[in-house]
Structure formats: C-alpha cells, structure tokens
Amino acid sequence: MENCPDNFAHKYYLLTAEMAIIDDAPIDTVDVLFRKALESIGSNDFIQFRALCNELYGKFWLAKGNNTIAALYTREAHYLYQQWGATGKVAQLVKQYPDYLKVSQEYRGLTGISSYTTQSSIDMVSIIKATQAISSEIKTDKLLTTFTKTIIENAGAQKGFLLLKNEHDNKLYIEAKKTEDNDQPQVMQSIPYTQSSELCPEIIQYVARTKKTIVANNACSEGSWRENPYIAENKVKSVLCMPVIYQTRFVGIVYLENNLSDNVFTLERLEILKILSTQAAISIENAMLYENMEERIRERTAQLDKANEKLRELSYHDPLTGLYNRRYTFQFISKRVESFIKNKRRLLDNNERRDFSAADNVIGIFLIDIDHFKDVNDTYGHAAGDATLVLISNLIKQMIRSDDYLVRWGGEEFLIILFDTKREYLDVFSKEVLVKVRETPFKVSDSITIHKTCSLGCVDMPVDSANPDLLNMEQMINLSDYALYYAKKHGRNCGAHFKLKENVKLDEYIIKDLMDIRTSKKVIEEYFNIDIMI
C-alpha cells in the first residue's frame, strides 16, 4: 500500500474493517475504517470496489441494528452495481433487501424517477451525522430541538414544525417549531395546531387523514392549494407536509415552508427528510419511554419516601394517643435539652453577663400516672381504658405550650417537659394538672362517664444551678420517677416535687448513689426537700 496507495489503500482499509468486525472492535473503529476505504477511492475509479464497500458497510450497520444507515449504503451499493452492469448482483440485492430497494408508492406522482435517491447525489456524511445526532438524544426537549434544526437545515425551509399526536386525546399538537424570528426552536409547548396562524391547518388535516405526503412547489400560484385562505394570504410558495410513521403507527407530522423560492423541496430532500423523520420517530419513542420510566421512578421514589416518612413518624409516635414516644424523646428532645444546658453553662461562665433571667430559667420534667387505671379496664373494658388515656392526653396537651412536649411514656404514664420556664411555675403547673384531671368528667362511651385522678412527680433541670450539666435528661427523668413514687406513697391524687436543699452541692459520687435504687432513698431524703402538692 505504501508503494501505490491509489491502487491498494481502499482494499487495505476494507480488509482491515472486516477483520475489525471479526475481532468485535468498537463501532467507531470499524466506522473509521470503512470511511477511509470509501475516501481512498476516486469518484470515478474502481466502481466495483465502491459498490462492494457500500454493500459491506450496509451489512455492518444492519448487524448493529441501525436500519436507517444500513438502507442508505445498501441503496448506494445497488446504484453502483447498476452503473457497473452487474445485473446479477443487482437482482441479488433486490431479493435480499426488498424493503430497502423497493420503489415507494409514497412519492409517485411527485416526480418521474425512482423514489429512492442514490447517495451519489446526497451528502452521506451530513445525513449520517444528522441521524446520529438525533439518535443520541434521550431527553425529549433536546431531541425535538435537534430534529427541528436538522430538518430545516437539510430541507432548505424558512420555518418548520413538528406536530405529535397526543396518546390521550389523539389530537395533534405543535411540539416544536423554528421560524426565522427565533434562533432556537421552541419546544414542548403542546399548542393545538388549529390555534396557530403560522401554518396551513387544511394541509395538516389532509396529511393526518390520508397519511400521504404533500409537496406544493408553488402553492400560491398553481395547484389545488392556491385558493386556500392561509396559502393565498401568506403567499406561500414551497410547502412540504409529511407524516411521521413508526412501525406502521402514525406518530405525527413534519410541516415545512419556504416563501422565498418555489420548487425548494426536491425529491432528494424528500428522501433525506424521510430518513431523518424515521430516525426521529424511533428516537421520540425511545425518549418518551425513557421519560416515562424516569417519571415512574420519581413517582415510586416519592411514594417510597412518603412511606418511609410515615413509618418514621409512626416509629416516633404512640399509635393510640398520637403523642411522642420514648424513642422520639431520647433521639430528638434530648438534643434540645442538651442545647439548653450548654447555653446555661455558657451563661454561668460569662462573668460579664448583665441579664440573669435566662440563667434562672429551668426545664420542668414531670411524670404523671393515672391512679388505679387498671380498675377502668377491669370494670368497663379496654376500649373504655383506651378512651380514658386519649381524653386525658388531650386535656393535658391543651395545658402546655406549643414548644413543650407531652410524651406517652408507657401504660398509663405520661412525661411532660416544659422548656425554659421559671422554677416557681413548676408547682403552679403541677397543681393545675392535678385539679384539672380530678375535676374533669371523662365520657368514655355513650353511656359511661367516669372521674379519675392522677399522681405526679416533678423535678427541675438543672437540679443544681451551680453545676447544670451534672445530670443528663435520662437521669432527671429517673429522678422524676422517684418523685412520682413518693406521690403515690403519700396516697395518690397528689404531686411530689424534689428540690435540692439550700447550700447543698452535688458531686459525681452523690449522683452515683442517687441513681442506684439501693441507695437512692437515703440520698433523696438527705439532699432534697420533698414538697407535696394537692
């Protein structure tokens, strides 16, 4: 090949391309080799090798599933074999590829020559680039933009429209348009074509009904459309309107105009548009499938997120009363408590502070138990017991602020956490709860109304103002549980408030004994005042 490239280069590249196919080389590698084989043959030289190269190139694209490009090269091979006089080979190709080489009835009457145009008169490189550009888009908006720009460039139109059939109402909508006034096509607007003044609705209706292509070479001066109101008013010269078909299914319509020149939409351009439209129909179908799949994924993801959020909410709430539960308390409320205590420590460490009111505020922690609740279940049934819990929880919920917490702690116990409040208010609130529960009749069914009382244990956090982070939230809840025990021991229907005695300082050893059930009673009685509230 180096000594005489004009004679052997095309053979070398053709053989190398075939070897690359056998070796399962990448498509781009094989594509480049076939192109080099064709480019190395002069336009009038080695016609038989140009025919063979196009035939093999077509087989390659057919094997890769790209029928559009395969058809182009097969037709070129057919034409070249005819020119060479290889009638046997021509007949073989017609028999082997009848769909590629048949004379289309669609264009008869438009011209007196065969309806497929040879690649000798078509810019093959441009067509392949155009089809590859269209087929590479998977987003509908980008696909419509690429297709509209491509058909206008290849057809010589001043303006162009792509109408797509809506699967829901079977009506045609303008989904892409490009005019001289717009640099970029306008897409995805779904405009009913009957509402547009930029195209001829009667031509659209005819093509939609007959599925036949219309080409008018001088529409405003001759032919059956010259008296059409739109054609006459806009002095339309060249018009092309063709159906877009995918697997015998009507997908939409391509509508093109050129009002400067007549005879713009030649048979050669018709063939190009048909190839591009076929590829566009395939790509539109794929893009819609892709976007439908994406939409389904988004919907499923949203449903899953919603379900997970619901499960998360359920995991943090008591199913009977709808109140927060222990899990929520230790996962979220504890963080707010920690933040409050850290801020309190910061205020205490700031010797230059002027506002002591924030440092004096506390968190009130209460444990409430419904007295003799088992009697309700035993006497009236569990439904009445459940109703009692719901009614009492609703009653207490109305007594706290929106940023405070009421928690179903377990069984007939409730935890209340009042944030950033005065110490003296804790006794006031405790008494209000005791009185409210005691005096409220609870109608647990149409025929049953009961009265209940409750017992309450209360502590303020921090229990030691000088050492705010000595006890954590869990330890303080345990301390309020001890206070609740003292209230029950005092006869129920009352509250017990543990208050650290004056001039008492707690340390880690005292806290350790306080949290030990074996020594807690002694520590409480030694270091705390126990106020009983009725």
Predicted TM-score of the model (pTM) = 0.54
State whether the Cα torsion 521-523-529-533 is positive or negative: negative
Domain shared by 308 and 335, yes or no: no
**pLDDT tens-place string over residues 212-257:** 999 988 888 888 888 899 999 999 999 999 998 887 889 999 999 9
Number of structural domains, the chain?
Answer: 3
Give the residue among 20, 97, 12, 115 at the shortest CA–CA distance from 59: 97
Domain-embedded: residue 65: yes
Domain shared by 129 and 49, yes or no: no
Tokens read off for 285: 């179908």
Domain shared by 284 and 346, yes or no: no
**pLDDT tens-place string over residues 297-328:** 999 999 999 999 888 888 999 999 999 999 99
Domain shared by 8 and 145, yes or no: no
Tell me what pLDDT residue 169 has: 92
Domain shared by 129 and 83, yes or no: no
State whether the Cα torsion 10-125-138-246 is positive or negative: negative
**pLDDT tens-place string over residues 515-530:** 998 999 999 999 999 9
Tell me what pLDDT residue 6 has: 56
Domain-embedded: residue 107: no
For 72, the domain range is 1-102
Instruction: Please count the CA atoms within 13 angstroms of the CA of 69 that sit on its side-chain side.
Output: 23
**Calpha distance 508→226 (Å, rounded):** 102
Domain shared by 298 and 175, yes or no: yes
Hunting for tokens 């706290």 — which residue is that? 400
Domain shared by 97 and 13, yes or no: yes
Tokens read off for 130: 């155009």
Domain shared by 220 and 351, yes or no: no
**Calpha distance 74→25 (Å, rounded):** 22
For the chain, how big is the Rg over CA atoms in Å?
A: 43
Q: What is the arithmetic mean of pLDDT over 363-388?
A: 95
Q: What is the CATH number of the domain that holds 177?
A: 3.30.450.40
Domain shared by 295 and 229, yes or no: yes
Q: Using 50, 70 and 90 to split pLDDT, how confident is the model at 478?
A: very high
Chain-wide mean pLDDT for the chain? 86
**Calpha distance 159→332 (Å, rounded):** 62
